[in-house]
Structure 1
Amino acid sequence: MASSLNKFRLALVQMAVGANKTENLQRATVKIQEAAQNGAQVVSIPECFNSPYGTKYFGEYSEIIPDGPSCQALQKAAKDNKIYLIGGSIPEKSDGKLYNTATVWCPEGNLLAVHRKIHLFDIDVPGKITFKESETLSPGNTFTSFDTPWCKVGLGICYDIRFAEMGMIYRDMGCKLLVYPGAFNMTTGPAHIDTLVKGRALDNQVYVAFASPARDNSAEYVAYANSSVASPWGEIVTQADETETIIYTDIDLEYVQTIRNQIPISFQRRNDLYSVHNNLDSKPETRFNQTYQLESKKVAETFNVDELGKKTVFCRCWESKKFPLCDGAHGKHNQRCGDNLGPVIITKNE
Structure 2
Amino acid sequence: MKAAILQMTSGIDPQANAATITDAVRAAADSGAAMLFTPEMSGLLDRDRTRAAGSIVAEDDDRVLAAVRDAAANAGIWVHLGSLAVRRDDGRYANRGFVIDASGAVRARYDKIHLFDVDLPTGESWRESGAYAAGSASVVLDTPLGRLGLTICYDLRFPDLFRVLSDAGATILSVPAAFTRPTGSAHWHVLLRARAIESAAFVIAAAQTGEHADGRATYGHSLAIDPWGEVVCDMAAAPGLSVVEIDSTRVAEVRARIPVIQHRRAIPAVSIAP
User: What band does the TM-score fall into relative to the shorter chain?
Assistant: over 0.9
> 1:189 maps to what in 2?
184
CA contact (8 A) 2:145 2:246 kept: no
The Cα shift of 1:239 comes to 0.8
Q: Is 1:227–2:222 an aligned residue pair? A: yes
Q: Is the CA contact 1:164–1:200 (under 8 Å) kept in the aligned structure 2?
A: yes
Alignment-derived partner of residue 64 in structure 1: 58
For 1:241 and 1:165, locate their aligned partners in 2 and report how far apart those are by CA, in whole Å: 28
Q: Tell me the secondary structure at the aligned position of residue 18 of structure 1.
A: coil
Say which structure is richer in helix: 2
Q: Which runs of 5+ in 2 are unaligned?
A: 270-274
Q: Name the TM-score, length of structure 1 as normaliser.
A: 0.73
What is the letter of the counterpart of residue 12 of structure 2? A
The equivalent position to 2:13 in structure 1, one of 15, 20, 30, is: 20
Residue 83 (structure 1) aligned to one of 62, 77, 80: 77
> Alpha-carbon deviation of 1:65?
1.3
Deviation at 1:53, TM superposition (A): 3.9
Superposed CA deviations along residues 104-123 of structure 1, whole A, max 9, x for unmatched, are 11001111011111100111
Distance 1:55 1:199 in 2: 34
Q: Name the CA distance, whole Å, in 1 between partners of 2:79 and 2:168.
A: 21
Query: Which residue identity is paired with 2:131?
Result: T
Question: Residue in 1 aligned with 2:272?
Answer: none
How far apart in 2 are the matches of 1:217 and 1:126? 21
| 1:58 positional shift | 4.5
Q: How many residues align?
A: 267
Partners of 1:129 and 1:187 within 8 A in 2: no
Who is 1:143 aligned against?
138
Confirm whether residue 200 of structure 1 aligns to residue 171 of structure 2.
Answer: no
Change (3 A) 1:201 1:61: same
Mapped contact 1:158–1:181 kept (Cα < 8 A): yes
- SS of the residue 2:217 aligns to: coil
* Equivalent in 108, 113, 117 of residue 112 of structure 2: 117
Amino acid at match of 1:91: A
Whole-Å separation in 1 of the counterparts to 2:52 and 2:169: 33
Tell me the CA shift for residue 149 of structure 1. 3.7
Query: Which residue of 2 is the match for residue 166 of structure 1?
Result: 161
Displacement of 1:16: 2.4
TM-score of the two chains, using structure 2 as the length reference: 0.92
Q: Secondary structure at 2:196's aligned position in 1? A: helix
The answer as to whether partners of 1:55 and 1:133 remain within 8 angstroms in 2 is no
Runs of 4+ aligned residues of structure 1 deviating over 6 Å after TM superposition are none
The yes-or-no answer on 1:98 pairing with 2:128 is no
Query: RMSD of aligned C-alpha atoms?
Result: 1.7
> Is the CA contact 2:162–2:195 (under 8 Å) kept in the aligned structure 1?
yes
Aligned-residue identity in percent: 29
Q: How far apart, in 2, do the equivalents of 1:30 and 1:180 lie?
A: 22
Instruction: Give the superposition deviation at 1:63.
Output: 2.1
Describe the shift of the 1:262–1:93 C-alpha distance in structure 2 as closer, same or farther (beyond 3 A). Answer: same
Residue 197 of structure 2 aligns to a residue whose secondary structure is helix
- Cα 1:217–1:111 change in 2 (3 A) is closer
- Give the superposition deviation at 1:219: 4.6
- Measure how far apart 1:128 and its partner are: 3.6
Describe the superposition over 1:285-335 as per-residue Cα deviations: whole angstroms up to 9, x where unpaired: xxxxxxxxxxxxxxxxxxxxxxxxxxxxxxxxxxxxxxxxxxxxxxxxxxx
Check conservation: 2:167, 2:261, Cα contact below 8 A.
no
**CA displacement at 1:126 relative to structure 2:** 3.1
Whether 2:28 is the aligned partner of 1:46: answer no
Answer with 1 or 2: which has the greater Rg.
1
Structure 1: gaps of 5 or more residues = 1-7, 276-350
1:131 aligns with 2:126: yes
SS at match of 2:17: helix
- Secondary structure at the aligned position of 2:181 is classed as coil
- Greater CA deviation, 30-39 or 196-205? 30-39
Q: Report if the CA contact (8 A) 1:46-1:212 is conserved.
A: yes
1:257 to 252, 259, 265: 252
Provide the residue aligned with 2:239 in structure 1.
Answer: 244
Q: For 1:200, what is the secondary structure of its paired residue? A: helix
Amino acid of the structure 1 residue aligned with 2:5? L
CA contact (8 A) 2:198 2:260 kept: no
**How much does 1:217 deviate?**
6.3
* C-alpha distance after superposition, 1:269-290 (max 9, x if no partner): 344x449xxxxxxxxxxxxxxx
Higher normalized contact order (CA 8 Å, seq sep 6+, divided by chain length): 2
Q: Which of 143, 147, 154 matches 2:149? A: 154
Q: How far apart are 1:150 and its partner, in Å?
A: 4.1
